Amino acid sequence: MYKWGARSLRRMQGVNHLLTECATRALAKSRYDMTIPWMGGVRSAEEQKNIFDQGASKADGTNNLSYHQSGNALDVEPVGYNREQASNTFLPKARNQFAQLMFNEFSRMKARGEIPENVYLHWGGLWGASGWDPQHFELREL
C-alpha cells in the first residue's frame, strides 16, 4: 500500500482537502507508487505565468486562470515518470489506472456525502482528442 512521500505532502499543501483526500485513498489502492510533480499543487499567479511562458500550460495566470491557483487542482504522476527508462506503455498504464482509482474513490466519497452534490472531478486525460493533460485532476462546481 503506497503513501505520499514528504515532498509530495509538501507540494499538496493548500490544495482542496476533498481532492487530496480522494488522491490519498486512490494511492492506497494503486498498483503504482505515485508522486506530486513540481508545481503540481497550488500555484501563485507568477508561478502560473512562468509555466505558461514555458508552454507547459494554456492558462497565463491573469486573464486565464488555472485551477491550480485556487487550490482546486492537483497533478499526479507515477514515480519515475521523468526517467528515461519510463517506457511508452508504463506512463499511460500507470496514469490511466490512477485516474480510474480517482473516479472510483470520488464516487464513493460522493455516495457517502463527503463531497457536495454539485462538485465534480475532471481529469485532464479526457481533454481534447489526445487527452493532453493526463497528470491533472481538478474539482469543479456546477
> Count of residues binding Zn ion (CB under 5 A)?
3
C-alpha cell at 31: 498498483
CB atoms within 10 A of CB 63: 6
Q: What 3-state DSSP class applies to 125?
A: helix
The amino acid that residue 134 corresponds to is: P
Contact 35, 63 (CB under 8 A): no
Round to whole Å and give the CA distance between 9 and 118: 27
Residue number closest to Zn ion, CB atom: 136
What is the closest distance, in whole angstroms, from the C-beta atom of residue 119 to Zn ion in the complex?
A: 17
What is the closest distance, in whole angstroms, from the C-beta atom of residue 135 to Zn ion in the complex?
A: 6
Q: What 3-state DSSP class applies to 74?
A: strand
136 binds Zn ion (CB under 5 A): yes
Q: What's the gap between Cα 99 and its chain centre?
A: 9
Residues of span 44-63 touching Zn ion by CB under 5 A: none
What is the closest distance, in whole angstroms, from the C-beta atom of residue 95 to Zn ion in the complex?
A: 13
Binding characters for Zn ion, 112-131, by CB under 5 A (x = yes): --------------------
43 binds Zn ion (CB under 5 A): no
**Among residues 1 and 53, whose Cβ is nearest to Zn ion?**
53
Round to whole Å and give the CA distance between 110 and 116: 7
What is the closest distance, in whole angstroms, from the C-beta atom of residue 113 to Zn ion in the complex?
A: 27
Binding characters for Zn ion, 64-103, by CB under 5 A (x = yes): ---------x-x----------------------------
Contact 137, 23 (CB under 8 A): yes
Q: Which residues bind Zn ion (CB under 5 A)?
A: 73, 75, 136
